Amino acid sequence: MVTVQILGAAYARVAFGEERRRWDASVPCHDCNAAKGQLHVLGCDVEECPKCASHLVTCDCTNAEPADDDDDASERDDADP
Ligand SMILES: [Zn+2]
Ligand SMILES: [Zn+2]
């Protein structure tokens, strides 16, 4: 299974023709030429985000940085003036 990392979790990528929004998959993807049932090329602007169902290249899901677990917020009073 091919996945995409979103906020530290792995989501199965959405193949062409399997979008939640109905998409005409009777012709290859106009952007990356994927055939129905194939995954888009990474960065294709047609690929749907498996999390929010908007365009994967433009939604914020993969742009957001995962929370940094190494950062202890309770010890934050040593900031320089
Ligand atoms: Zn595509
Ligand atoms: Zn998204």
Tokens of 3: 């996945």
Among the bound ligands, the one closest to the CA of 39: 1
What integer pLDDT is reported at residue 22 of this predicted model?
Answer: 74
Distance 36 CA to ligand 1 centre (A): 10
Percent of the chain with pLDDT strictly greater than 90? 52
pLDDT recorded at residue 1: 74
For residue 16, report the distance from its CA to the centre of ligand 1, in Å: 7
User: Whose atoms come closest to the Cα of 28: which ligand?
Assistant: 1
Q: Give pTM, 2 decimals.
A: 0.71
Q: Which ligand is nearest to the CA of 14?
A: 1
User: How close is the Cα of 28 to the center of ligand 2, in Å?
Assistant: 23
The burial class, CB within 10 Å (0-12 / 13-18 / 19+), for 6 is: buried
